[in-house]
Amino acid sequence: MGALDGIRVLDVGLLVQGPQAALTMSDMGADVIKVELPGMGDQGRWLPASLEDPRPPWFVGCNRGKRSITLDLRKPDGAEAFLKLIETSDVVISNFKPGTLDEWGVGYEHAAERNPRIVYGMGSTLGSKGPFAEREGADLAGQAAGGLISTTGIDGGEPTPVGATIADHMGAQNLTAGVLAALFSRERSGVGQKVEVSLFGSQIYAQASEFTAYFLTGEVPGRANYGHPVINAAYGILATKDGYMALVGVPPSNREAFYSAVGKPELADDERFQPLLYTAEVKRQLFDILRPVFLERTNDEWSKALGDAGCRFAPVNDYAQASADPHAWENGYLQMVEHPEYGEMRTVGTPIAMSGTPLEPGKVAPELGMNTEELLLEVGYDWEQIGALRDAGAI
């Protein structure tokens, strides 16, 4: 049994923010029903791996283990079918533009009338309040509006986004956390509630330390400059003979071992580098010394030397290198599955380990609408009614 065994989730999400939140709950044992527009489905179905490979990584990666029903929520019959599903469900997950589901008659107030225990999780771009609350957006908007992009790159360079849908992911995880807390609260109160998160708010929350540094000093942190805009220490990226290495700080207890490992034992007594934190100028001086040294060895050689010295470091991996790391497989972060269409394939597992109720990643993302009749029969429709819904274009 999973931690959420017996919980039913209606996933009306699109792309990443909503679907990944529902995916986490699916891995935790919930029965997740993917609600999609007939003939179209989640837009993630239409983002191919490449121009030559039509397989959709955004949909496959965020929707494995779910069942799919097609409902046109804009049509009264489709909205009514959705509300019938809500009567026997515990959670709704959505990241439509604020107000959209209310306009269709299936928003939180409508859902709570049919099922007061429903937990209604809603993600958005900027939040449900404010002058631009109804603005549509996606991951890039969250990264931009939330300040993340302003910290990437180097001084004088062009701002660049993070090369992953990180704002969507952060929004998804905050949505999951809020929904799980609301389910816990419901166990005590017997009543569900609405849960709201946004890409913008999630980006700010993810940068709580950096925003606080700004609030305390009044100084905008600026660019990462191969490290971190606020942390002036032995903390940053250094080029090696065949790649790059991340040096993750040198605490005083490790100072002698580190400088011996890099062949510069005299630096352990250098007054400039005695503190844990430096001025920006002292950090620049240290890295000017370290750069030519790190170019003398490969990543593997540095990994052994720094590892033997007990230092904090990590090679800068690309996806191929990260997926070859044994820790990714031994901890279940990556897994092999047998896909009915793609054959044996690697898939992203789950980063959460629970000793009593282990998570079990689903293996296959559903075909569009493949469980429509099955799910309608479960909530009381008969075959004649299902045929009428199909004739009306509601499914």
**Residues annotated as part of the active site:** 168
* Euclidean distance between CA atoms 369 and 34, whole angstroms: 9
CA distances from 128 to 92, 96, 194, 206 (A): 17, 11, 12, 19
* Euclidean distance between CA atoms 115 and 106, whole angstroms: 12
* Euclidean distance between CA atoms 321 and 305, whole angstroms: 20
Q: Kind of pairing, strands 31-36 and 67-70?
A: parallel
Residues 6+ apart with CB under 8 A from 271: none
Residue in the structure block whose two tokens are 């031994």: 330
CA distances from 142 to 74, 128, 155, 190 (A): 27, 14, 22, 34
CB 104 within 8 A of CB 21: no
CB 243 within 8 A of CB 316: yes
Question: Checking phi first, is residue 249 left (phi over 0); if not, alpha (psi -120 to 50) or beta?
Answer: left
Tokens of 384: 């004649």
User: Which DSSP state fits 252?
Assistant: G
* Euclidean distance between CA atoms 90 and 6, whole angstroms: 9
The DSSP line for 108-141 is HHHHHHH-TT-EEEEEESS-SSSTTTT----HHH
